[in-house]
Amino acid sequence: MKYLLGLVLLFSPFINANEQPINGFGNYYNVPEHDKINDATVFKIAFDVADGAKKGEQNNSINSLARFINMHVAHGVKLKNIQLALDVHGSASVDVLANSEYKKRFSADNKNQALIEQLLANNTQVYVCGQSATHFKVTPELLIDGVKMSLSAMTAHAQLQQQGYTLNPF
């Protein structure tokens, strides 16, 4: 019986993999003994990403949002109670380019596009800093559909805080 229970626990992350809101991204570890999360908890969290991915690679900092969503849903938080925002600036500004433009610039596919599209479809707002975007020659029509351009990352963070978002320090 202990052996069977061990196998179930070992493979439980894979069993739930098909039920994750963000497919193909956001892997996490199951933590069975975690402090319980109140059923009424609502998360409103802003994530700040400034460092761009290596060309043609996924930005692991953006993947953190998928991990947050997947692990919390897997541990009982309702998806409707998870409201995330991504504030992209600095060299990460090119990570929100639509694949067609990204490929023109870097001769590689944008490995972040599918991830960002799934985040947008799962209650996540995505902003790119207008100051950084202008510096990196990223205009609104070149962005992944659904990504919004803010005046600056500072502006987006200030507005998100006024809307009740906390800043994730990681």
State residue 85's pLDDT score: 99
| pLDDT tens, residue by residue, 17-51 | 457 999 999 999 999 899 999 989 999 999 999 99
Q: What beta strand segments (E) does 34-141 contain? A: 43-49, 82-88, 124-129
Is the pLDDT score of 15 beyond 90? Answer: no
3 found inside a domain: no
State residue 8's pLDDT score: 44
114 found inside a domain: yes
Q: Hey, what are 162's tokens? A: 């006024």
76 found inside a domain: yes
What domain range is 57 assigned to?
39-167
User: How many domains, the chain?
Assistant: 1
State residue 169's pLDDT score: 86
95 found inside a domain: yes
**What is the CATH number for 150?**
3.40.1260.10
Q: Find the Cα–Cα–Cα–Cα dihedral 77, 79, 82, 87, rounded to 10°.
A: 140
Q: What is the enclosing helix (H) or strand (E) of 65?
A: helix 60-74
Mean predicted lDDT score pLDDT of the chain: 92
